[in-house]
A and B are shown apart, each in its own frame.
Chain A
Amino acid sequence: MSQPLLEARDLTKNYGTVEALRGASFTAYPGEVVSLIGDNGAGKSTLVKCLSGVERPTGGTLTFDGKPLVLDSPNDARDLGIETVFQDLAVAPDLDPAANMFLGREILKPGVLGFFGVLDKKAMRRQATEHFTRFGATLQSIDVPIAALSGGQRQSVAVARSVAWASKLVFMDEPTAALGVVQRERVLDVIKRVRDEGIAVVLISHNMPEVLSVSDRVEVLRLGRRVARFKASETSVEELVGAMTGALTQEDAA
């Protein structure tokens, strides 16, 4: 395969005396969907936090596009085109979908008005509408507060927002949890579309059939270490569960 887009080697992360990561490695290639799976407490969320700049690993190295990488904040990751959809969504419920999509990246009016920080709300609304439509987020109205939307629509907004700004890589921490069947399909559809645009997607999920249906590769974490890597087309739910629970280990995975 080609050169890895993002590679983590032997990451460790301690919270006091608790070792959340014990030499975890992870690889993502450009334009693929790779799922990160593992039992509760395996270190998935901690790993994603380290890879998206929310937490700093205690030890280990990161490389991005072949160059060494140090992430001091989520902004560093964002500057490189790495976005994250968090499990708890993290949207501003009182702002409308367009405002949420452009939050922290507002478009300002040209000229003097822009100098004073005046927002170009029309341009943001137009671009947001186009973008939401492209990624299949059906919203009756672009200017109601997010809190007035249903859970699924809120999720679509959160996913669409991250996808809009990611040029290289998107982390999605359980993006389909708490979604209905139709909305789940739609999010999976978005994941595939993002991949087709050449952006790598790292999917964290507990739903094995979903993982197999959407991923190109699967990496398995157990007790803070990578214990197995699979091609999604060559593995099965039984094999994945075996790797998660420790019934199966690959010698070369770590």
Chain B
Amino acid sequence: MSAIKANSYVDITDVLCPITFVKAKVAIEELEDGQILEIKMNGGEPLNNVPRSLKDEGHKVVQVEDHGNGTYTVFVKKGDL
């Protein structure tokens, strides 16, 4: 498992697209550049789209953990926009 220390955490397993990305985006906008957001999300559509959308906005996905139960934790480092 990772030794990544996140600065903030958001759970988006309880919402659907596009609120998944919106919640992640709100959480990451509150961080400073270079800080790390830990996002818990469901596999499938959220895992396919949310990390990609965050990358499109200039952030960096640093690690993805598969919990084996259909949920994942994605660590994203905030980029300077």
Does A associate with B in a complex? no
B residues at A contact (CB < 8 Å): none
A residues at B contact (CB < 8 Å): none
